[in-house]
Structure 1
Amino acid sequence: MLRFTQDHEWIRVEGDLGTVGITPYAQEQLGDVVFVDLPEPGREVAKGGEAAVVESVKAASEIYAPAGGTVEAVNPRLADEPALVNTDPLGDGWFFSLRLADAAELDGLMDQAAYDAFVAGL
């Protein structure tokens, strides 16, 4: 299940684990990503709370957690290859995975069709 926030983060849920990244729209707005500051595994994050920072040639932007939980893993490739966020934002450019505290927090997120309509209205 893939869900989206209005801040252009996505979360792909498998069981009680969610993998988080930013959308193609977000990476286009940022431009070339040059650095990603990822959370430490074991860190607790709250839904809507700052979880990571992405820096591009244009700006730095916070990445917010689409749901609350405990960070299980981070994408080790982003340290040396931050451009993966630009080239494969929905795949290899993922940021972190988290063990969900409450799957019901996902209920307010958008599915692909709703997110596409949201972006079209921007």
Structure 2
Amino acid sequence: MLVWSAAFLPVLAMPASADQSLDGSDAVAVPTLYAAITRLPATEQLRGTVDSVDQGNDTIEIRLSPDRKELFKVQDGLIFDMVRFGDPVEISVQIISGARTIVRLTEK
């Protein structure tokens, strides 16, 4: 610990160089970098009809077209109280932990 202190404390105590601004004008780079690192996941909007509800597996199957059904995970279990077989719905889907997951559902 003493070796680490001796090696790094002088660096931490050094004053800002003359070319660094202290008025905060370079503070824009930090939020920009932070925003680039913490992007929100892409959200996809879909419409369809509830084809099946499996509360035990936290999934809902949505019929997106007459020949296409897709199984989605559900982020919030309260969604199960909102829908039944045959309900027309609009859903917002994000990929969470590798699975297409319903993050918002509204009845249409």
What is the TM-score of this pair, normalised by structure 1?
0.30
Which structure has the larger Rg?
A: 2
Higher RCO by CA contacts (8 Å cutoff, separation 6 or greater):
1
Higher helix share: 2
